[in-house]
Amino acid sequence: MLSDIIDFFRHRWSLKAGDAPSPNATKDFLFSFTLGKPFQPFQQLLAVLPPSSAPLLPPCYAELMTSSASVLADCFPSELVTDINDKRNDWEAVVLLPFMDEARIIAATTPIDAKLTADERARNTLLPASTVYAAAHGPRGANARTRRSCEGEASSWCGHSDINNAKCQ
């Protein structure tokens, strides 16, 4: 999955419109990607967060980012390179993290998933997509009815029994 994308996009930044070939040259070009399985939430965060954000993950995952003995240590450099990319201020720069191979992430995280607490395992679960909104400001205006109410689902998600009359669709 990631290798397909890296094979196609060999650079960090996408092509500009002027760099792309003419539409006639690409009319017969077909994109083909191998569909894979999505990362678990902690795996996704591990792949995109810098090492200074390790406290946002459970301790066993944070150790993969901070320990020099980690199998992923080379993916989390202590000195980060930034790309100012025509920006004026340092805070506008993009942090250039190394590309990480999905197979390495899965191989490194699978054994430590057993160390997660029950709450952490629940946070690391893929759930069906849903939209949470206040009932008075629903997708079709004031007092819109939803297909289903998920007050129980919402309360377990954020720890509150009532999220300002939240609904889920």
Per-residue pLDDT of 85-135, as tens digits, reads 888 898 888 877 777 888 999 999 999 999 999 999 999 998 887 776 665
Choose among 5, 23, 22: nearest CA to 14. 5
- Phi first, then psi: give them for residue 126, nearest 5 degrees: -80, 125
Residues 43 and 88 in one domain: yes
Q: Helices (DSSP H) in the chain: which residue ranges?
A: 2-8, 41-48, 59-66, 102-109, 118-123, 151-158
Residues 95 and 163 in one domain: no
Residues 118 and 137 in one domain: no
Query: Which residue type does 89 have?
Result: N
Distance CA(58)–CA(106), nearest Å, equals: 16
Residues 77 and 142 in one domain: no
In terms of residue numbers, what domain contains 150? 132-168
Question: Residue 89: CB partners within 8 Å, gap ≥ 6?
Answer: none
Residue 166, SS3?
A: strand
Q: Which residues pair with 96 in a beta bridge?
A: 81
Residues 115 and 157 in one domain: no
Residues 26 and 8 in one domain: yes
Is this prediction's pTM over 0.85?
A: no
Residues 81 and 111 in one domain: yes
What's the pLDDT score for residue 70?
Answer: 92
